[in-house]
Structure 1
Amino acid sequence: MKNKKNTILIVNLIFIILFLGCEDVLETTAYSELTTETILNSEDGINSVLNDSYAEFRDSYLYRIWGPDITTGFVWSRGGSIEVDFVDYENFTWSTTHAQINTHWQTLYQAIRNANIVLANLAGDNFSGEFVQLKTAEARFLRAYSYYELYSVFGPVPLLTTPEDLILPRASEEEIKTFITNELTAAAADLPWPSDAFGRATKGSALGVLTKFYLNTKQWSHAASTAQEIISSNQHELMDNYKDVFSFEHEGNSELLWAITYNSQGANQFLNALVFPNAGYPFPPGNSAFAAVTYVFDDKVDMFDESDSRSDLIVKQYTNTNTGQVVQLYGNDQSIPAKYPHDPNASGTFEGQDIPVVRYADILLSRAEALNETEGPTQEAIDLINQVRERAGASAVSTGDFTQESLRNFILQERTREFYFEGKSRSDQIRHGVFISNAQARGVNNAQPHHRLFPIPQAEMDANPEMIQNEGY
């Protein structure tokens, strides 16, 4: 019976994973070289299934970047298909059939499915103990990260932990929080600090995601201690130059605890094609854009000190290559978030910028926030914040500048300055209790408390009779 189930799963995988197109570090044996009898009995086969989980994360970058930052009022978009998918985020009018919400759910559960398949097939005599330990940890990390993302946007969801799990009710809050914590802790214990390939899970990846999970669930002491474990490891550090964190020349740099990797030769994305104007913008050779453009509001540009180099990655004006005229963006709520550089090897709209998931700067600010919540504005919390600010050329702050409440507000603003257009603003505002009130203050009258969660996709409601919809939808 088990062999029959495995064969069915293998056949499904072969159709799903036609090619991975990963960077060299994640490439695997082509599926044409693997048969249904060998795929889950070989290291190449196990790695290929795991690689498909990594590939699933690549497919949700539109949600990962645009969705959170649009709902929080940092950016807005117009033109082309972006209006179909993302104006609903701006207006808080998303529904149970929203395409990007459905895609986000599907890709994360596909990653979970693949991790479950790997975990179910690592037992036996086919693999060395070292291989089993490493791949078990990697699969548990990928599964836990997927549930972390699902929980962040949908609340508790069904916990599918075996390939046979298909229809289950939603887990309780305590069940899913305990599961994510235990899985990330177990993965961190067996993953290496450095990886043999950038983009694969490491101990830093697991501890970094765990730090963010503790922070977003307001487990302050755990967030502080897990962040300190990363800091004390001396495995990661801030880059000297903020711009270099995102540059092609410094891909895989020491500030990145984990990133979703891309390349322009197959595992590509078109992030910048939905950011920059498609006519008259001075693109490097080989680059182009769609009709959609993404803009930063002026009041967000004004958040930065004049000396703050982080705002240098926001384009405030440019010279139109067709007319020779200067196009003024700032002052019209139309500055452009150019945080991700153009790919010198781009093929039109297809580029290969990696997208950070957890950075060392996030660990520093997470510990600072957790310390403030438990102890108030300590010198250590201020020093952690100043490490981030000083790297950017922003003025240092001191303990005497703050009460606990004012430092809490300052940290939220500092996180906005540091992580704009990295998809962190929504969870930050929800944690600080201002997500809905901020939306209402900027005139989004549709924003209501239930919008702190997205709806369970209607397709899932139809497929799972055990599913209960989120309140308000």
Structure 2
Amino acid sequence: MKKYIVTIAVSAICFFTVSCKKDISLDPLIFQPTTFSTEAQLETQLAAVYGNFNIEQLYAQGLWGYFASGADEGFRIDAATGTAPQVITETYRGASADATYANFWRGCYKGIEQANIIIENIDIPNMSAAKRKSMLGQAIFMRAYFHYLLASHFGDIVLKTVPTTQLGTNFRVLKTSRREVYDFVLREMRQADTMVAPITQVGHTSIVTQTAVEAILARVCLTMAGNPINDASK
């Protein structure tokens, strides 16, 4: 019996001295910085930022469908029957747990995080100065635009300008007022306008150009001129 007690005691001592080392570490292993060493890696990351606009809850359907037409004036064919008209009432029955809104929120912040990583790593890969400037401008614009989409739909939001890996273990980031978010968006988009290429140089609409930036800048100013900001200077 004494032999068993000694064995259990030794096992317990070994368990408490070696098993919890990583659990109490102040350096979480799951939040290591993301770095890129090549131009191709940055281009892939930039494409991922663009990809967030294509999810169902953003431009695939949400922004022009659920959010814009989601009232009693909008109708669609019921997918289950294929015949019965169905009133689109997303605007009237929305809740924070609704996938339409939750995934819209998630998609915007995913794009913001990916853009932050590009901005953080833009100077690492070897590439031409012109290419680096254009990619940085695109990332800055899209980060600002995602913030604009969030603020214009939800009001005060978290303004996130650094990668999550720089937050340590404190994820309770306070909200920023809608007005401050809009001011940030204006500054960022005006900076991006000086960095991205004109549409005449690009020749297509697959990436952010000066024309796109200036068009969205006009939309931001119109939003700020209306309720609840009512900034007549815009």
The residue number in structure 2 matching 1:168 is 173
2:46 is the alignment partner of 1:41:
no
Task: Check the 8 A contact 1:156/1:172 in 2, yes or no.
Answer: yes
The residue number in structure 1 matching 2:183 is 178
Q: Relative to 1, partners in 2 of residues 1:7 and 1:216: Cα closer, same or farther, differing over 3 Å?
A: closer
Q: How far 1:73 moved relative to its partner?
A: 4.1
Give me the whole-angstrom Cα distance separating, in 2, the residues matched to 1:173 and 1:149. Answer: 11
Give me the whole-angstrom Cα distance separating, in 2, the residues matched to 1:5 and 1:183. Answer: 32
Task: Check the 8 A contact 2:111/2:146 in 1, yes or no.
Answer: yes
Pairs within 5 Å for 1:26-425: 40-59=36-55, 60=58, 61-80=60-79, 87-89=88-90, 92-124=92-124, 126-163=126-163, 164-165=166-167, 166-194=171-199, 195=202, 197-218=204-225, 219=231, 221-222=233-234
Length-normalised TM-score, structure 1: 0.37
Task: Check the 8 A contact 2:115/2:143 in 1, yes or no.
Answer: yes
Give me the whole-angstrom Cα distance separating, in 2, the residues matched to 1:156 and 1:55. Answer: 25
Give me the whole-angstrom Cα distance separating, in 1, the residues matched to 2:50 and 2:172. Answer: 24
Give me the whole-angstrom Cα distance separating, in 2, the residues matched to 1:76 and 1:69. Answer: 12
Q: How far 1:120 moved relative to its partner?
A: 0.4
Give me the whole-angstrom Cα distance separating, in 1, the residues matched to 2:95 and 2:88. Answer: 12
Could you tell me which runs of 5 or more consecutive residues in structure 2 were left unpaired when the two chains were aligned. Answer: 1-27, 226-230
Paired residue total: 188
Give me the whole-angstrom Cα distance separating, in 2, the residues matched to 1:6 and 1:88. Answer: 41
| RMSD, matched Cα | 2.8
Say which structure is richer in helix: 2
- 1:448-473 CA distances to partner (integer Å, 9 max, x unpaired)? xxxxxxxxxxxxxxxxxxxxxxxxxx
Could you tell me which runs of 5 or more consecutive residues in structure 1 were left unpaired when the two chains were aligned. Answer: 11-38, 223-473
Identical-residue share of aligned pairs (%): 19
Equivalent residue letter for 2:76: S
Q: Which of 1 and 2 has higher RCO (CA within 8 Å, sep 6+)?
A: 1
Give me the whole-angstrom Cα distance separating, in 1, the residues matched to 2:144 and 2:173. Answer: 18
Equivalent residue letter for 1:147: H
Task: Check the 8 A contact 1:49/1:118 in 2, yes or no.
Answer: yes
Task: Check the 8 A contact 2:189/2:217 in 1, yes or no.
Answer: yes
Task: Check the 8 A contact 2:38/2:125 in 1, yes or no.
Answer: no
Q: Relative to 1, partners in 2 of residues 1:115 and 1:172: Cα closer, same or farther, differing over 3 Å?
A: same
Task: Check the 8 A contact 2:137/2:191 in 1, yes or no.
Answer: yes
Task: Check the 8 A contact 1:156/1:173 in 2, yes or no.
Answer: yes
Give me the whole-angstrom Cα distance separating, in 2, the residues matched to 1:48 and 1:66. Answer: 29
The alignment partner of 1:117 has SS state of: helix
Give me the whole-angstrom Cα distance separating, in 2, the residues matched to 1:110 and 1:9. Answer: 16
Task: Check the 8 A contact 1:77/1:87 in 2, yes or no.
Answer: yes
Give me the whole-angstrom Cα distance separating, in 2, the residues matched to 1:121 and 1:151. Answer: 26
Give me the whole-angstrom Cα distance separating, in 1, the residues matched to 2:96 and 2:196. Answer: 38
Task: Check the 8 A contact 2:36/2:124 in 1, yes or no.
Answer: no
Give me the whole-angstrom Cα distance separating, in 1, the residues matched to 2:172 and 2:204. Answer: 35
Q: How far 1:121 moved relative to its partner?
A: 0.3
Give me the whole-angstrom Cα distance separating, in 2, the residues matched to 1:209 and 1:6. Answer: 36
Give me the whole-angstrom Cα distance separating, in 1, the residues matched to 2:187 and 2:178. Answer: 14
The alignment partner of 2:76 has SS state of: strand
Q: Relative to 1, partners in 2 of residues 1:7 and 1:167: Cα closer, same or farther, differing over 3 Å?
A: closer
Q: How far 1:62 moved relative to its partner?
A: 1.8
Give me the whole-angstrom Cα distance separating, in 2, the residues matched to 1:5 and 1:213. Answer: 39
Q: Relative to 1, partners in 2 of residues 1:95 and 1:105: Cα closer, same or farther, differing over 3 Å?
A: same
Give me the whole-angstrom Cα distance separating, in 1, the residues matched to 2:150 and 2:39. Answer: 29
Task: Check the 8 A contact 1:69/1:75 in 2, yes or no.
Answer: no
The residue number in structure 2 matching 1:302 is none
Give me the whole-angstrom Cα distance separating, in 2, the residues matched to 1:187 and 1:72. Answer: 35
Q: How far 1:9 moved relative to its partner?
A: 5.5
Give me the whole-angstrom Cα distance separating, in 2, the residues matched to 1:40 and 1:197. Answer: 27
Q: How far 1:69 moved relative to its partner?
A: 3.2
- 1:15-55 CA distances to partner (integer Å, 9 max, x unpaired)? xxxxxxxxxxxxxxxxxxxxxxxx71111111111111111
Give me the whole-angstrom Cα distance separating, in 2, the residues matched to 1:167 and 1:160. Answer: 12
Bigger CA radius of gyration: 2
